[in-house]
A and B are shown apart, each in its own frame.
Chain A
Amino acid sequence: MTEDEKLLRLFQARDERALQAAEQQYGKLCRTMAYRILGDRQDAEECANDVLMKLWDTIPPVEPHSLTAFVSGITRNHALNILRAKNKAKRGGKQYDAALDELSPYLKSDEDLEDRLGTIALQDAINRFLETLPEETCMIFLARYYSMQPIKEIAAEHSSTVGRVQMILKRTKEKLRAYLKEEGLL
Chain B
Amino acid sequence: MKPQDFMEALGSVSQEKLDALAKWQNAKTPITGEAPAKGERITQTAAEPVSAARRRGTMKQKVKTKASAVQFLPWKFGIGVAVAACAAIAIIIGGGIISLDKQMQVGSNVGTSITEQIAESTTDEVNAVIIVQHEPVEIIEKLISSGGNDSTMMKLPPEGAVQVLRSVEDAEACCQYSDENVAGQPFDFRNKLTEDVFAEYDVLYFAFKDEQKPQYCYSVDLAGGSIAADGSTLKLDFHALMFEPAHLPSDWCSVTEPDWNTYYFYTVPKNTLPDLNAIELSFEEYPLGEIPDEILANPHENVGVTDDGKTIMALQEYLETTKEYLNWLNSVPKPKYITWAEDTPVPPEDCTEVQEISADTAQSKQYVKLMQEYYTQKTGIPCDYDFSGMGKDLDETIETDDASIHIKGMVGCDWTMFVFFDVEPLNLSPENTEHFSSKSFSNLSDNMCLDCGILDANGNPIHSFNQTCRTMPAQQSLDNGIFHCYSIINNHSDEAVTGGEKYLGIGKRNGSGVPEYEISIPLDCLQSTPLQESSLAAIVSTFIPDNSEQCYYPQQMTRCAVTPFGVYSVSDQFKTVQPEWAVSCFWLEIPLFKLKATPLITQNDANGSVIRSFDLDGLTCWGSTVTNDTGISFADFLFDRPYETTKGMLIIQ
Residues of A with Cβ closer than 8 Å to B? 64-66, 68-70, 72-73, 76-77, 80, 89, 96, 99-101, 103-105, 107-109, 111-113, 119, 122-123, 126-127, 130, 134-140, 142-143, 145-147, 149, 155, 157-168, 170, 174, 180, 185-186
Contacts and interface: CB of A to CB of B under 8 A. Distances in A.
Nearest to A157: B28
Interface stretch (B4-12, B316-324, B491-499, B621-629): B4-12
Contacts of A139: 20-21, 24-25
Given A139-B24, A143-B21, A160 B30 contact: yes
A164 B43 contact: yes
B33 interface: yes
B298 interface: no
Given A122-B5, A126-B6, A136-B33, 16 more contacts: A66-B15, A68-B26, A73-B15, A101-B3, A107-B1, A107-B2, A109-B1, A126-B9, A142-B10, A143-B21, A145-B6, A146-B11, A163-B355, A167-B43, A168-B34, A186-B1
A122 B6 contact: yes
B301 interface: no
Contacts of B26: 68
A136 B86 CA distance: 36
B458 interface: no
A158 B23 contact: no
Contacts of A147: 21, 25
Nearest to A139: B24
B246 interface: no
Most-contacted residue by chain A among B5, B18, B124 (CB, 10 A): B18
Closest CB pairs A-B (n = 6): A163-B119, A69-B18, A68-B22, A160-B31, A159-B30, A163-B116
A77 B11 CA distance: 6
Given A66-B22, A142-B21, A103 B31 contact: no
A123 B12 contact: yes
B119 A103 contact: no
Interface string B346-373: 0000000001100000000000000000
Contacts of B454: none
A7 to B, nearest CB: 14
B540 to A, nearest CB: 39
A167 B119 contact: yes
B17 A130 contact: yes
Interface string B13-48: 111011111111110111111110000000101000
Given A137-B34, A164-B43, A119 B8 contact: yes
A90 B19 CA distance: 30
Nearest to B113: A163
A100 B7 contact: yes
Contacts of B118: 163
B611 to A, nearest CB: 36
B115 interface: yes
Main secondary structure of the interface of A (DSSP, over half): helix
Nearest to A102: B3
6 contacts: A66-B22, A68-B22, A76-B11, A136-B31, A136-B33, A146-B18
Contacts of A165: 31
Contact of A99 (B7, B30, B356): B7
A185 B29 contact: no
Contacts of B22: 66, 68-69, 72
B250 interface: no
A142 to B, nearest CB: 5
A26 to B, nearest CB: 11
B605 interface: no
Q: Chain B interface residue count: which class?
A: 35 or more
Contacts of A185: 1
A36 B100 CA distance: 48
B116 A65 contact: no
B29 to A, nearest CB: 6
A100 B118 CA distance: 22
B11 A164 contact: no
Contacts of A155: 31
B119 A119 contact: no
A152 to B, nearest CB: 10
Contacts of A135: 20
A145 B9 CA distance: 11
Given A66-B19, A142-B17, A119 B9 contact: yes
Given A103-B3, A135-B20, A161-B112, A126 B13 contact: yes
B120 interface: yes
Nearest to B24: A139
Contacts of B21: 69, 72, 139, 142-143, 146-147
B258 to A, nearest CB: 55
Contacts of A161: 112, 115-116, 119
B427 interface: no
Interface string B562-596: 00000000000000000000000000000000000
Given A157-B25, A160-B31, A96 B12 contact: no
Given A72-B22, A103-B6, A164-B119, A130 B13 contact: yes
B122 interface: yes
B170 to A, nearest CB: 30
A155 B12 CA distance: 25
A107 B3 CA distance: 6
Contacts of B13: 126-127, 130, 142, 146
Given A136-B32, A145-B10, A168-B34, A89 B19 contact: no
B40 to A, nearest CB: 8
A103 to B, nearest CB: 4
B28 A138 contact: no
Contacts of B120: 163, 166
Interface string B79-113: 00000000000000000000000000000000010
Contacts of A100: 3-4, 7
